[in-house]
Amino acid sequence: MRTVLKRADADNMPVRLNVLQGSPAQRLYERHGFTVEDQDPIDVFMVRQPGARCPNT
């Protein structure tokens, strides 16, 4: 994941993804700089802006 995020930062591109409501994966993505952009009853839609803080980088 760090490689993809570094490439996105270099290209000044946001990265978007979605996780299921209640998924522990949401915490993982938040630790990598993702924030909640929107949500519905099933999914949480997240975005990471270029240059967001990422652990150990």
HSE toward the beta carbon, residue 41, CA cutoff 13 A: 0
Please report the pLDDT score of residue 53 as a whole number: 77
Q: What is the pTM of this model?
A: 0.88
Query: Tell me: the pLDDT tens digits for 1-27?
Result: 989 999 999 999 999 999 999 999 999
Residue 57 pLDDT more than 60? no
